[in-house]
Amino acid sequence: MTRIFYLLYAGIAYAIFLAVFLYLIAFTGNLPGAPLAVDRGPESPLDLALPVNIALIALFGLQHSVMARPAFKAGWTRFIPPPIERATFVMMTNLVLLILFLGWHPMTAPVWTIESPIGVAILWGTFGLGWVIVLVSTFLINHFELFGLQQAWFALRTKAAAQPVLHQPFFYKLVRHPLYAGFFLAFWATPAMTTGHLLLAAGLSIYMLIAIRLEERNLVDTFGADYVAYRETTPMLVPGTGGRKRT
């Protein structure tokens, strides 16, 4: 019965995340139908909006960075059963993003505005491409493990997870972190950049650059020399930059 609960809990966390993920796209793109967006919602004076928004970005960064570290997981799983540890991480991410959506204070002073139809089309296309890269990248690694469903399913089947294997499918042959690269495109590509959007994009970009460094330490610990060689031959985020050519 407990294992069925694990799977149910993981499924609920995943379903909520899908809704939150879709709203994140609408939020960052100021898409119609989203009552609260990066540039839409109750406005406040700059001296209130700026620290609140910075705090919201920091909250997201801290939750993601701290809970993803092996040391935290080792302590966390003393209280949270390992089969739902990742699902709980996903549930906490859902909560933090909801707090960001609800607490965000739009800062609508323009930074740039593109009026050329071609320029607008290119930027919206890049925005969409970024989100596609993010979604595809999750499936290239292990989508259902990433969001905690596989762990709960394996617990129900009393099946042990296979040992992790380093492989580089599709995007991962071009860059080491295509998921983050997709987020960079999605957060920065907009024909109407405001100070609030700029703050969100810059804050999350700083978080991602820090997260990559932390994540790569863990990957070296897991895969050793294989990951070191991969890191030396494959650029971090931009195809064709850095790294030695493979022979």
Query: Tell me: the pLDDT tens digits for 173-202?
Result: 999 999 999 999 999 999 999 999 999 999
The residue whose two tokens read 């407990």 is: 2
pLDDT of residue 232: 93
Lowest mean pLDDT among 138-147, 182-191, 200-209: 138-147
Q: Quick one: how far is CA 219 from the chain centroid?
A: 17
Range of the domain at 30: 2-233
In a domain, 141, yes or no: yes
In a domain, 15, yes or no: yes
pLDDT of residue 38: 97
Total number of domains in the chain = 1
Residues 18-41: what's their mean pLDDT?
Answer: 96
In a domain, 107, yes or no: yes
pLDDT of residue 22: 97
Residue 5: is it exposed, middle or buried by C-beta count within 10 angstroms (0-12/13-18/19+)?
Answer: middle
In a domain, 169, yes or no: yes
Dihedral over Cα of 69, 71, 72, 77: its sign: positive
pLDDT of residue 179: 96
In a domain, 238, yes or no: no
Query: Model pTM?
Result: 0.93
Question: Across the chain, what does the average pLDDT equal?
Answer: 93
Lowest mean pLDDT among 67-76, 161-170, 207-216, 236-245: 236-245
Give the gyration radius of the chain's Cα atoms: 19
Residues 141-159: what's their mean pLDDT?
Answer: 90
The residue whose two tokens read 């739009």 is: 106
The residue whose two tokens read 């993981």 is: 10
pLDDT of residue 244: 55
In a domain, 168, yes or no: yes
In a domain, 246, yes or no: no
In a domain, 220, yes or no: yes
- Which pLDDT band, with edges at 50, 70 and 90, does 78 fall under? confident
Which stretches of 79-224 are DSSP H helices? 85-103, 117-141, 143-146, 149-157, 178-188, 195-223
Residues 89-100: what's their mean pLDDT?
Answer: 96
pLDDT of residue 243: 60
